Amino acid sequence: MAQVLEFKLPDLGEGLTGAEIVRWLVEVGEVVAVDQPVVEVETAKAMVDVPCPYEGVVTARFGEEGAEVPVGAPLITVAVGGPADDDGRPAGEQRSATDGSRADGSRTEDSRTQGPRSEGSGNVLVGYGTSEAPARRRRVRPGQPAPGASATPATPAPSTVNGWAAAGPAPAARKARTAEVMDGPVPVISPLVRRLARQNGLDLREMAGSGPEGLILRADVEYALQAAGTRAGKGRTPTTEPHPRVPPTPAPAQVREPAPAHAPTVGVPAAPEVTRIPLKGIRGVMADKLSRSRTEIPDATCWVDADATELMRARDAMRRFAEERPQSPVAGGPKISVLALLARICTAALARFPELNSSVDMTAREVVRHTAVHLGFAAQTERGLVVPVVRDAHTRNAESLTAEFARLTEAARTGTLTPAELTGGTFTLNNYGVFGVDGSTPIINHPEAAMLGVGRIVPRPWVHEGELAVRQVVQLSLTFDHRVCDGGTAGGFLRYVADCVEQPAVLLRTL
């Protein structure tokens, strides 16, 4: 016999508490295989395809595209072990209107009397397995005894046409059915019906559904809202007459905004319209981190202009050498990027000034100095600002850094960065020169202790060897946590970086 299992949003790691549904990958009624992706979600870290650990037929989806879903909330339900009909039950198990029996006359059993449930696949996300599906309680239906209760004679079922009752129940039967529903789970399947009732303050336990076996439909809720509005407007006494039973319409419920408590005063201009944009996803996480950085870190900034002419010439020389000597081992390699050269300079500077490759643990009141350099770099995407991290940047050369920067930048643009590629940085390099600006005062990426900002490299008049000349000039700025070092250390770091930019041969002393 088929079981309807509920697949919930798993823990995506890194302290994430929820995700936004970007795109559904399956439809209701579609057959899914084990570990088949069923929904694409956007967390505060990256875009993730969530695979389902069950094989069967999708019987329901929870949440529209763009909706926020907390961890542990249901995503879909899957009928495992057999085909499912339109009501979410396996084929051949359609219940009668009153006694909950199958079409073949046998009684359905509670899920607790069935055999052990199927195990999950263990592959919802890498590092986060799925456990055995939780036991599901069967919804207590009107006219059907609860598990363990003594059996009572079934009442005759009313005549139906296409599954709809031809006449409403008697008042006494309706009261008894309502009392029975209040003792058990609310007979509602659609989350839309629950949301519509919740938004309008209706208690579903006090309602008698007009659907099959007492199921509360959207039409029931809308009729109750209409009746409540009519009574409030005309002061009529409540009526207990059954309302016409009409099939639910497939269109989503349109909930009107409540009217203002007070009408606007005549002669007072209306307030200007505003647009509220929720801070969620990547933008919300960045807002929290930047606010925390400004609140907790006593930062300071120093900057210096540097002549980058020799650095640009060195980069061009590397490119020409690879092109002119195809037999060389370096021929055919990636074109070295300016960002990779600056990153190599940063790792050399951090080796001389390790205080800036640190973080502060205020709970223990300690400065935590990191041995490895995990270099973050700011990348602007359509989804917002992200900071991918190059692991062990101090062990990489310019070619390796160029390749890794290219890979992480492409992953950031396509939204395929993993949480591990967005966390764990110890120092950040911010090349805001790509936006055509010269200088900035960067905000430290909490919990790091420093960030180096690089402006655009542009021709400017510069005194070179005692004469005025046009040189390629760049502005470098360093924002640092004053708790980990004083201005002398920060100034020494920035001066070493500027010296390497002006004379790349300085790096040869430390390679």
Largest Cα–Cα separation, the chain: 109
Beta strands (DSSP E) in 199-328 are 299-307
Instruction: Pick the closest to residue 370 from 382, 361, 383, 379 (CA basis).
Output: 361
10, 50 contact by CB (below 8 A) = yes
**Cα-Cα-Cα-Cα dihedral of 497, 501, 506, 507, to 10°?**
80
Q: How many separate helices (H) and strands (E) can be counted in the chain?
A: 8, 21
338, 500 contact by CB (below 8 A) = no
For the residues of 266-280, what is the DSSP string, one character each?
TTSPPPPP-------
58, 28 contact by CB (below 8 A) = yes
**Quick one: tokens of 285?**
């996480």
Q: How far apart are CA 178 and CA 186, in angstroms?
A: 10
**Quick one: tokens of 281?**
């996803």
Q: How far apart are CA 386 and CA 393, in angstroms?
A: 18
CB-neighbour burial class of residue 220 (10 A; exposed 0-12, middle 13-18, buried 19+)? buried
Cα 322 to Cα 14, 319, 327, 329, 336, distances in angstroms: 42, 5, 9, 9, 10
Catalytic residue numbers?
482
Q: How far apart are CA 28 and CA 221, in angstroms?
A: 24
Q: Helix crossing, 191-199 with 218-234: angle to 10°?
A: 20
Residue 438, classed as helix, strand or coil, is: coil
